[in-house]
Structure 1
Amino acid sequence: MFVLSFRQRDELASIAAAAGWQVVAARRAGGAERRFLSSGAAVAVVDARGAAAEGLAATAALGSAIEANGGALLALVSRGENGAITALYDAGATHFLASPFSDAEFLQALRFSARHAERMAREWQAGAVFAPLGWRYARADRTLILTPGLASLLGCDEQPTVRTVLRRLDQGDRLAATAALRRMTGLRPATAFAHDLEGVGRIVQHLQFDPGAGRVDAVVEPLGSTPEPAAEVREALAGARDAGSARRWLTKHLDGAGVAPLHILLIALNRFEMVNTAYGRAAGDALLRSAQARVKDAVHEMLGRDALVARMGGSTFLVAMQAPRLRIDLVAERIASALARPFVSGDAIAVLGCRIGLAEASPQDDAASLLRRASEALAEARESDSATLRVADADGGSAAIDRLAVELHYAIERNDIGILFQPQVAIATGEIVGVEALARWQHSTLGTIGAETLFAAAQRADLEIGLSDHIQRLALAQAANWPPELADVRLSLNLTAADIARPGFADLFLDRVDASGFPRTRLTLEITESGLIEDLGVAAALLSVLRGAGCRTAIDDFGTGYSSLAYLKALPLDYLKIDKKLAQDITGSPRDRIVVRGVIDMARSLGLTVIAEGVETQEQLEGLATEGCQIYQGFLCAEPLSVPALSTLVAAH
């Protein structure tokens, strides 16, 4: 066991050692997480008596490691400190003991903590996971949603009819259930009732009514067991992966042979507790949802949807995938970049960042040992002043982007970098009116690498201009030889910040277009917000020349930067492309929809055609169409395509 006491005399370690425990003792919170993980202990003891602030900080430092690795944390508190107990529980403590207590009482508390850790370990090894039991009922449309655990227990779907569930109860219990639902009002928002459930025994249903949403949330407690935390039930109802399902996924993939090694990333947000303290738990929960969405976006873009993304508890997330190490390094860099962008929390902007621990599975690893090694790496990253990523058993290899940068020059020479075209569809007619040229690197070991990573490597290798020239030549050459089916389709090319800053670029580019044979009048040039920040005057002059020569101009990824309105006022533009995250907000909250509507209305008032990127569902498309968006691109129509596939699709449309 691991004991952290801030007292001069460490009598706790002596008591435990005399009873046969193997003890690792510490008196300072610094490095506590790393020391706990390296000790191999399953139980941690934090002595917060007379040192509430220090004890809370130590518990917060250990909490994620305890939760991720299935241990137990016994917190010792002074009697009467009820507020401290709540804070310690929220930080990750699993057991408590209030002073004064005898040596026997302390040892008994240790035994209970150890039994908790042993039970967690047995559940992991058996593949069992914690399955929250609960349900949600919307009064307006009588929609009932069950957590997966409860649906499995009842042997029904996760969205059954109310009648289906009530049939599982006898007549008396049905009356008790309906009476409980009816008696809840805004003045009496909580109630409970007990009944027998076949195959389970006696259970208690704890009901909470949300008047604003018109919704009832319930936590189901089998008597004799620990009540399911309401937060866990809410996450299960929202479809979030939790720590239990993550461990089951790891166990399954460790047992099976894969074409690539299994890697895991543990990602911890920096300074998250400051947001919770300053703005409240609701703001903290919203920030966690945003962070998880960013992690998912980065992972799905780089690894596809077979990768695991889970929240392990608190502000710690897990990513796992069977993939080459170099690709995992790229994912880690992308996640770190995504989480470094500011978050909106209430009326303030919070800048967090993250720390990441990476571990590669070895033949002798099980889920617990793999998680522990990743946790150790994460603890080292947290203790570092500057390093975002730490690797368990690191081999000292160069960073992934640096390695790609070295290879990029040869990739351009070997024509390993190609072009795909993503359709742009007129919403009113369904006609494919244009395509965006997107670069793809077919890497020999990593597979397909997208444009964002490609240009990050180019920037590192000082090859931005060379790569941009290469992509422009390829896209124009292919477009100039398109088949007749594509004769009316516009081509969109991206210009980089380096292109904008090049003296004489307009003449050089127009000569390149004319030499290719592709008509200027069917060409649209896109510039991202990040490519314009340095000098708006230079960008405006360049776009004016290109428009005067017959090309159209667009601002890309609108909504990702901080000076968007200045761009709209200063630049000669024809199109505004809404960033995919902003476009997908059309199906979000009322506030989200108002923002999207405002952007579309503003663009159309300025005479700009609005293109929405990243449209994936019919619901998103209908919402954008209702607000006046004219063109969309995204997976709802097609992924980026080769010329033959594009020609077939256009002919079909």
Structure 2
Amino acid sequence: MFVLSFRQRDELASVAAAAGWQVVAARRAGGAERRFLSSGAAVAVIDARGATADGIAATAALGSAVEANGGALLALVSRGENGSITALFDSGATHFLASPFSDAEFLQALRFASRHAERMAREWQAGAVFAPLGWRYDPVTRSLLLTPGLAALLDCVEAPRLRTLLLHLDHGDRLAATAAIRRMSGTRPATAFAHDLDGIGRIVQHLQLDTDTGRIDAVVEPLGSKPEPAAEVREALAGARDAGSARRWLTRHLAGEAAGPLHVLLIALNRFEMVNTAYGRAAGDALLRSAQTRVKDAVQEILGRDALVARMGGSTFLVAMCAPRLRIDLVAERIASALARPFVSGDSIAVLGCRIGLAEAFPEDDAARLLRRASEALAEARESDSATLRVADADGGSATIDRLAVELHHAIERGDIGILLQPQVAIATGEIIGVEALARWQHPALGTIGAETLFAAAQRADLEIGLSDHIQSVALKQAASWPAVLSNLRLSLNLTAADIARPGFADLFLDRVDASGFPRTRLTLEITESGLIEDLGVAAGLLSLLRGAGCRTAIDDFGTGYSSLAYLKALPLDYLKIDKKLAQDITGSPRDRIVVRGVIDMARSLGLTVIAEGVETPEQLEGLAAEGCQIYQGFLCAEPLSVTALTALLAKVC
């Protein structure tokens, strides 16, 4: 056990040691998290008697580590300070004991806390039997999603083809399943049917129709056991993971399911308690949801949907994945960058940032040992004045961005950095009217690297201008030789902050356009908010020159920054591109939709054409169209394509 006491005499440690407990004692909160993790203890004791504020601060420092590792935290309080119990519980305490108490009562409280930790450990090892069982089917997109527990029992992926799932049923049960689905309607939205299923036995499937979306949610009940609540199944289907399911996922993959080296990242938000204190629990919960979304987006961008993202408790998140170390470093960089961006909390802006602990699984690791090593690395990162990332049991080495920076110059010379084209579609007609050129680096070890990481490496190597020149030249040369079916499309190119700051850039750029043979009048130049902050006057002058030369101009990623209105007033623009996150809010809460509607109305009042980025579903497109958005791009039409693939798409559409 680990004991943290602020008293001069530490009688608790002596009492516990005399009763056979192995004790690690501390009197200062500094470094307590690291010492607790290093001790290997399952139970932490914080003596907050007469030192309530210190006790709450220490509990907050230890709470996430205790919960992430399945331990217990016993807080000792004075009899007259019972009001502090709520604050201690919110900070992560699991058990309480109020003084005065005898040695026997203290030891009994320790035994209760120890049983709690043992029970948590047993649940970690129990596997998917504790996970909710269910599935969701969307007839519009024909997509099927299983909860992790059901996928594990059926030994299949969490998003299989419908035909794959039906193969687990015999012919008669398939007919029963089809009949049950068909008899659901607006007047009869719920039904059930029973059948045998290999690996589970006799089960009942409880089906529920969402009459608004047409989706079908199913709760799978093994007969003889209590079904999981529908809300828990829906949470699992929505991608939410908790500490328990994360540990079970790790246990399965450590037992042999891993398709590559298994890594764990523990991410802790900085300064989160300040938000809770200043704005209240509701604002803190909203911030945590936003943070988890940013983490998931960052992970999926690099690794797809195969990685695990979970909230471990408090403001700590876990990411686990089977991937090479270089890609893990990229994920960590992207997460740190995403969480460094400001959050909106009420009417204020909260800047948090994060610290990250990374651990790679060793052959002797189980879930608890792997998580503890990641927690130790996180504790070291928290104690550091500057390091965002700490790696457990590793010598460190150059960060991935640094390695990419070293390789970038040769990659440009070899032509490893190319261009893909994402279609832009007129919502009114469904016609593809333009494309945005997106840089991609085909790295021999890391695979495809996107523009954000690419330019981060360029900034580190002082190659921003060289990289931008290369991308512009490749895109213009490629566009000038497009086949006839693409000859009417507009081409959108991104300009960087370094481009804007270059003396004489307008003349240099227009010479490059003319030399390529691509017409100026079919060219749109996009500038992001972050690329304009330093000098709006210079940016406005540059865009005026380029517009006067026949090009059109756009502000990209609108909605990600906090000076957007100043840009709209100061800059000569033709297009406003709504950032992906803002565009997707059109299917969110009524408050979200009001914000999106306001942005579109404002842009159109200024005479700007509105382009929505990142549109992925018909519902998003329908909502944006209803509010007056004119153009969209996103996976609903197509991912970024090569010229050959784009030509085939245009030929098919036409």
* Aligned-residue offset at 1:164: 4.8
Counterparts of 1:162-311 in structure 2, within 5 Å, are 164=191, 199=224, 239-256=239-256, 258=258, 260-311=260-311
Secondary structure in structure 1 of the residue aligned to 2:553: strand
Once residues 492 and 571 of structure 1 are traced to their aligned partners in structure 2, the CA distance between those partners, rounded to angstroms, is 18
| CA-CA distance at 1:593 after TM superposition | 1.1
Within 2, Cα distance between the matches of 1:565 and 1:77? 52
| 1:350 aligns to 2:350 (yes or no) | yes
User: 1:361 maps to which residue?
Assistant: 361
Q: Match for 2:315: what amino acid?
A: S
In the alignment, is residue 317 of structure 1 matched against residue 293 of structure 2?
A: no
Equivalent residue of 2:493, what SS?
strand
Q: Once the 2 structures are TM-superposed, how far is the Cα of residue 219 of structure 1 from its aligned partner?
A: 8.2
Q: Is 1:491 matched up with 2:491? A: yes
Instruction: Provide, for residues 419-445 of structure 1, a one-character-per-residue CA deviation record: whole Å limited to 9, x for no partner.
Output: 100000000111000000000001111
Q: What residue is the counterpart of 1:210 in the other structure?
A: none
**2:637 is the counterpart of 1:637:** yes
The aligned amino acid for 1:472 is Q
* 1:109 corresponding residue in structure 2: 109
> Residue 141 of structure 1 corresponds to which residue in structure 2?
none
Distance 1:17 1:555 in 2: 66
**Offset, 1:4:** 1.0
Q: Which amino acid aligns with 2:6?
A: F
Shift of 1:233: 9.6
CA distance 1:163–1:293, change in 2 (3 Å): closer
Query: Contact 1:33/1:62 (CA < 8 Å) preserved in 2?
Result: yes
Contact 2:126 2:248 in 1 (8 A): no
CA drift of 1:2 comes to 0.7
Distance 1:66 1:96 in 2: 15
Q: Judging changes above 3 Å, is the alpha-carbon distance between structure 1 residues 633 and 326 closer, same or farther for their aligned structure 2 residues?
A: same
Deviates more, 1:47-56 or 1:487-496: 47-56
| Two-structure CA RMSD over aligned residues (Å) | 2.9
Residue type of the alignment partner of 2:419:
I
Bigger drift between 453-462 and 316-325 goes to: 316-325
The one-letter amino acid of 2:621's match is: L
Q: CA deviation at 1:463?
A: 0.4
Deviation at 1:239, TM superposition (A): 4.7
Structure 2 residue 552 is the aligned partner of structure 1 residue 525: no
Q: Which amino acid aligns with 1:121?
A: A
Instruction: Give the letter aligned to residue 13 of structure 2.
Output: A
CA distance 1:566–1:162, shift in 2 (3 Å): closer
Q: CA deviation at 1:127?
A: 1.9
1:371 is matched with which residue? Answer: 371
Contact 1:422/1:640 (<8 A) preserved: yes
State whether residues 24 and 39 of structure 2, in contact with CA within 8 Å, keep that contact through their aligned partners in structure 1: yes
After TM superposition, the structure 1 stretch with the greater mean CA deviation from structure 2, 456-465 or 346-355, is 346-355
**1:394, distance to aligned residue in structure 2 (A):** 2.6
Residue aligning to 1:624: 624
CA contact (8 A) 1:129 1:244 kept: no
Relative to structure 1, the CA distance from residue 235 to residue 381 in structure 2 (aligned partners, 3 Å threshold; closer, same or farther) is farther
Q: 1:493 to 1:612 in 2, by over 3 A?
A: same
Match of 1:561 in 2: 561
Aligned partners of 1:99, 1:524: CA distance in 2, in Å? Answer: 72
SS in structure 2 at match of 1:256: helix
Q: CA deviation at 1:455?
A: 0.4
TM-score by length of 2: 0.85
Asked if the contact 1:129/1:248 (under 8 Å) is kept, the reply is: no
1:123–1:129 Cα contact (<8 Å) kept: no
1:31 is matched with: 31
Indicate whether 1:515 and 2:505 are aligned: no
**2:92 is equivalent to residue 98 of structure 1:** no
**Is the 8 Å Cα contact of residues 128 and 149 (structure 2) preserved in structure 1?**
no
Deviation at 1:26, TM superposition (A): 0.8
Q: Counterparts of 2:36 and 2:27 in 1: how far apart (Å)?
A: 13
| Match of residue 407 from structure 2 | 407
1:469 aligns with 2:469: yes
Question: Counterpart of 1:333?
Answer: 333
| 1:259 to partner: Cα distance | 5.1
- Structure 1 spans left out of the alignment, 5+ residues: 135-146, 168-196, 204-217, 221-229
Number of the residue aligned with 1:398: 398
**Aligned pair 1:430/2:430, yes or no?**
yes
d(CA) in 1 for partners of 2:640, 2:39: 50
**Partners in 1 of 2:571 and 2:21 — Cα distance?**
71
Q: Which runs of 4+ in 1 moved over 3 A?
A: 128-134, 147-150, 156-167, 197-201, 232-239, 257-260
2:84 aligned partner, one-letter code = A
Q: Which amino acid aligns with 2:643?
A: V
Partner letter of residue 515 of structure 2?
A: A
Q: CA deviation at 1:379?
A: 0.8
Query: Which amino acid is the alignment partner of residue 647 of structure 1?
Result: T
Q: CA deviation at 1:520?
A: 1.2
CA distance in 2, matches of 1:132, 1:427: 40
The separation in 2 between residues aligned to 1:359 and 1:240, in whole angstroms, is: 22
Question: Taking structure 1 as reference, are residues 233 and 384 closer, same or farther at Cα in structure 2, changes over 3 Å only?
Answer: farther
User: How far 1:44 moved relative to its partner?
Assistant: 0.9
- Per-residue CA deviations over 1:360-398 (Å, capped at 9, x if unaligned) read 111111111110001001111111222211111232301
Per-residue Cα deviation, 1:176-197 (whole angstroms, up to 9, x for no partner): xxxxxxxxxxxxxxxxxxxxx9
1:420 equivalent in alignment to 2:420:
yes
Question: Quick check: 2:583–2:614 contact (8 Å CA) kept in 1?
Answer: yes
Tell me the amino acid that sits aligned with residue 305 of structure 1: R
Q: Mapping of 1:14-29 within 5 angstroms?
A: 14-29=14-29
- 1:62 and 1:132 map into 2 onto residues whose CA distance is 29
Partners in 1 of 2:356 and 2:284 — Cα distance? 20
Contact in 1 for aligned 2:44/2:74 (Cα 8 Å):
yes
Deviation at 1:129, TM superposition (A): 7.2
Cα distance, 1:98 vs structure 2: 2.0
For residues 61 and 288 of structure 1, the distance between their equivalents in structure 2, rounded to whole angstroms, comes to 17
Which amino acid counterpart does residue 483 of structure 2 have in structure 1?
A: P
Aligned partner of 1:140 in structure 2 is none
Q: Secondary structure at the match of 2:127?
A: coil
- Whether the 8 Å CA contact 1:436–1:493 is kept in 2: the answer is yes
**Greater displacement, 95-104 / 478-487:** 95-104
Counterpart residue identity of residue 620, structure 1: Q
- 8 Å Cα contact 1:78/1:100 also seen in 2: yes
Cα deviations by residue, 1:565-610 (Å, 9 ceiling, x for unpaired): 2211221111111111111111112221111111111111111111
Tell me, in whole angstroms, the C-alpha distance in 2 between the residues paired with 1:250 and 1:200.
Answer: 25
- Deviation, structure 1 residue 511: 1.4
Deviations 1:69-92 (A, max 9, x none): 111111122235432222222211
Residue 646 of structure 1 pairs with residue 633 of structure 2: no
CA distance in 1, matches of 2:15, 2:452: 58
Deviation at 1:122, TM superposition (A): 2.0
Question: Aligned AA for 2:550?
Answer: G
Structure 2 counterpart of 1:171: none
1:89 is matched by which residue type in structure 2? F
Question: 2:581 aligns to what?
Answer: 581
Matched, 1:381 2:344: no
Provide the C-alpha distance between the structure 2 equivalents of 1:352 and 1:373, rounded to a whole number of angstroms: 24
Please give the per-residue CA displacement for 1:143-163, whole angstroms capped at 9, x wherever unaligned.
Answer: xxxx9999x9xxx99999786
TM-score, length of structure 1 as denominator length: 0.85
- Which residue type is aligned with residue 32 of structure 2? A
Give me the whole-angstrom Cα distance separating, in 2, the residues matched to 1:426 and 1:235. 36
Distance (whole Å) between structure 2 residues aligned to residue 447 and residue 238 of structure 1? 29
The residue aligned with 1:142 is none
* 1:265-305, Cα deviation, whole Å (9 max, x unpaired): 10111111111122111111111111111111111112211
- The verdict on how the C-alpha distance between 1:233 and 1:198 changes in structure 2, with shifts beyond 3 A counting, is closer
Q: Measure how far apart 1:55 and its partner are.
A: 1.4
Tell me by how many angstroms 1:93 deviates: 1.3
Letter in 1 for 2:272: F
Quote the Cα distance in structure 2 between the aligned partners of 1:375 and 1:515. 56
2:607 is aligned with 1:611: no
Alpha-carbon distance in structure 2 between the residues aligned to 1:377 and 1:638: 41
